[in-house]
Amino acid sequence: MQKHPFYTLATILNPGRSYLYYWIALIITQSIGALNTYSIAKLGESVSTGCISIEYFIIFCITLILAYPPGLYILYLNQKMTYESYYQYIQLFSKTLSNKLEHLENKSFKKLHYPLLTNESYQVIDKLYQYHFTVTAYSMCVVFNLLVFVHMFDNTLLISYGVGSFLGVFIILLLKSKIAKSSKEYQENKILVQDILQTSWDTIIINNELNKNEWDKSLDTHFHKRVSSSLKMLLVREITTISSMLVVLLPILINMTYKFLYAEFNVNMFGIFVATLHKQVQLVQYMQTIFSYQAMFSQIKTHLEGILSPLLEINEKQDKLENRIQWNLINWNFANTLFPDNLSDLLNILSKIPPGQRITISGPNGSGKSSLLKIIKTKTGKKAYYLPAHHTLFFEDQKQGSTGETFINNVQYILKHAQANILLLDEWNANLSPETTQKVHNLLKEVMKDKITIIEVLHNQIPHQVD
């Protein structure tokens, strides 16, 4: 049964103590901010009586300064958690695809998943934490300052905010599906454009008319789709935001108007109202921002599902390598034995092979020789090292050179650092000169002396192989 993407999200958003420290710093910051608001209200009240309170003026000045250090720490922690979560996503991606060799040469699979790892995932996680910071910080600010205003005025202000918030959430929920749909279209078109741009270098530099014209046509089509879906997503989101804010503001403005008219008959309350008016306007602006981000939540949720769902689907849709193998068409040169006709017998024989052997697998194109090496790697795990003919494997000390020199350097590096006792080589002799091929043969003889078994698929049958 497939897990929900947000179940997997829990493995990514695991910032540990950073999240606890974030909330502690946030509560401290907003408490200082609320105290600052209270001191402003009291200063306004004292001014209306003709006697300015020095104590509250000092509190006002101190709270202005004290709010900055924890506020800076909050920004630091939020950014830190962003990178920690991105790293967790990379680890999840690596763990999910590890040993899934059936996808190694699947271009459509790579086209879908590779941009998620290299670009899209960080952008989505970064947006998530921007949303997280804005909503938590602004919501706490609204709550703490609202408590001050309720204390200074009365409970009707709290009721008006509550009614407005309820109506705003209702509007967002009403338009939620439209936001999700427009966000999904945008993300799909964005990934398609990224994929087209990844093939741009050779196409632009070489400038073959055929490739360039097809590239231009594809870019033009998908880029305009991306622009259209982006603008559509923007309009849907902003219409949702504006609609929700209008219904939020209505009860608040009615209450504030009533307070203003009532305050004319009370000098002290009028002083408090005037002194805190900018804070009340600021709260309304914060509410607008919160609802703007709440409207974005469906968009962020859709994008999160976009980077998580493909990983969950990998295990649901498995293309078994064994199904690609035509057992009756494959041969080998091991101990004058016939090649087995099933995977179980093959693995049983391989488990009993003494170390230091060299086995060459042969067969017509399309018979599944390369798939066979991948199966052996999948089943033997760390005991085997699989080196494809064409690859982008990461080597810390990668030396540049010809194809043959690179292969020799790779094998030498593997012998020095890898713990495998089986070396799987897939068409290593493709495009090598006879001189380089002989150098590789000599190297592989040395490999066998180290008690490492070599299982190879050769590009062409050549006369050395049972040395």
Does residue 367 share a domain with residue 237?
Answer: no
Q: What is the mean pLDDT of each run of 10 residues along the chain (467 residues)?
A: 47 72 94 92 82 87 92 92 86 81 78 77 87 89 86 77 80 80 81 76 72 83 86 84 80 76 65 76 76 72 76 62 85 83 86 87 86 88 85 74 82 84 87 84 84 82 45
Question: Which of the listed residues 314, 332, 353 is the one where a domain comes to its end?
Answer: 314
Residue 91 lies in a domain: yes
Residue 240 lies in a domain: yes
Residue 126's CATH number: 1.20.1560.10
Residue 372 lies in a domain: yes
Compute the distance between CA of residue 467 and CA of residue 455 in angstroms, rounded to an integer.
14
Question: Which of the listed residues 288, 314, 340 is the one where a domain comes to its end?
Answer: 314
Question: Which of the listed residues 292, 314, 336 is the one where a domain comes to its end?
Answer: 314
The DSSP secondary structure of 353-371, one letter per residue, reads: PPSS-EEEEE--TTSSHHH
The Cα-based distances of 418 to 53, 356, 375, 413 in angstroms read: 75, 16, 19, 8
The Cα-based distances of 218 to 49, 213, 224, 225 in angstroms read: 73, 9, 10, 11
Compute the distance between CA of residue 189 and CA of residue 226 in angstroms, rounded to an integer.
5
Compute the distance between CA of residue 188 and CA of residue 328 in angstroms, rounded to an integer.
43
Does residue 271 share a domain with residue 236?
Answer: yes
> Beta 331-332 vs 358-362: how paired, if at all?
antiparallel
pLDDT at 262: 66
Beta-carbon count within 10 A of 406 CB: 14
Structural domain boundaries enclosing 249? 5-314
Residue 466 lies in a domain: no
Does residue 352 share a domain with residue 232?
Answer: no
Residue 467 lies in a domain: no
Compute the distance between CA of residue 19 and CA of residue 77 in angstroms, rounded to an integer.
8
Does residue 383 share a domain with residue 248?
Answer: no
Does residue 453 share a domain with residue 428?
Answer: yes
In 146-262 the beta strands, taken as DSSP E runs, fall at none
Total domains in the chain come to: 2
Positive/negative CA dihedral, 403, 406, 411, 414? negative
For residue 433 the two structure tokens come to 């000169």
The DSSP secondary structure of 442-455, one letter per residue, reads: HHHHHHHHTT-EEE
Does residue 332 share a domain with residue 309?
Answer: no
The DSSP secondary structure of 325-351, one letter per residue, reads: --GGG-EE-STTPPPPSSHHHHHHHHH
Residue 413's CATH number: 3.40.50
Does residue 356 share a domain with residue 422?
Answer: yes
pLDDT at 71: 92
Residue 462 lies in a domain: no
Does residue 254 share a domain with residue 287?
Answer: yes
CA proximity to 260, closest of 249, 276, 240: 276
Residue 464 lies in a domain: no
Does residue 342 share a domain with residue 298?
Answer: no
Residue 236 lies in a domain: yes
The Cα-based distances of 415 to 108, 221, 389 in angstroms read: 34, 49, 18
Does residue 263 share a domain with residue 364?
Answer: no
Does residue 306 share a domain with residue 369?
Answer: no
For Cα atoms 95, 99, 105, give the angle at the middle one, nearest 5 degrees: 115
CA proximity to 45, closest of 230, 266, 301: 266
Does residue 452 share a domain with residue 345?
Answer: yes
